[in-house]
Amino acid sequence: MPEFVPQQKITEFVNDGFEHTAWRLETRTGYLSDKHMPSYAEFLRTGDTAGEVGHPWFETVRRMVGKGKRFERVRLVDSPPREGQQYLLACARTNMAAGEDIRYMWRSEAEAVGLGGLSDFWLFDSRTVARFHFDGERTVGMELITEPVEVLRACQARDATWHYATRYSEFRARVSEEAAGRS
């Protein structure tokens, strides 16, 4: 059984525990934590949202990017995108305005190049992995891993997904084109 670290420790790590790069892989079709955000209800009502613009996360990202650090993500997305994935796609512009670089990859493409079965994690400075554990859409805990073999696997997953992933603006246009084609 993995040893979970308190959320506060992960928050401290993001605020002060890495030197240059925080990289995230998101593989889920939805996250329960998102569904509790007021912007999720707005998204369901209108089909669009800027997300939680005033959320402390964005100030943290701006502050860290201002210090020369990088925040990057790859999100695996189903075709057609599920509700939770559509929500995150709508919110991405707010993340990017704060300084994140977010890219997308169709889940089927990930599977075709041998990247199926990946799970959510953060990779900090290519040295520390913060692996998420879920029960359905609910995050039940995270573990910090520094074991070299696990870190190497995370680095390989990062390098491969980053190579194949598509920038936000191009991916958003593809999703819009596909949605128009289904209408």
Q: In angstroms, rounded to a whole number, what is the distance separating the alpha carbons of residues 170 and 176?
A: 10
Q: What percent of the chain has pLDDT over 70?
A: 99
Domain 7-49+70-182 is found in CATH 3.30.870: yes
What is residue 138's predicted lDDT score, i.e. its pLDDT? 86
pLDDT digits (tens, 9 = 90+) for 34-52: 999 899 999 999 988 878 8
**For the chain, what are the domain ranges?**
7-49+70-182
pLDDT digits (tens, 9 = 90+) for 10-25: 888 888 889 999 999 9
pLDDT digits (tens, 9 = 90+) for 119-135: 999 999 999 999 999 88
pLDDT digits (tens, 9 = 90+) for 52-96: 888 899 999 999 999 999 999 999 999 999 999 999 999 999 999
Lookup: tokens for 64: 């860290």
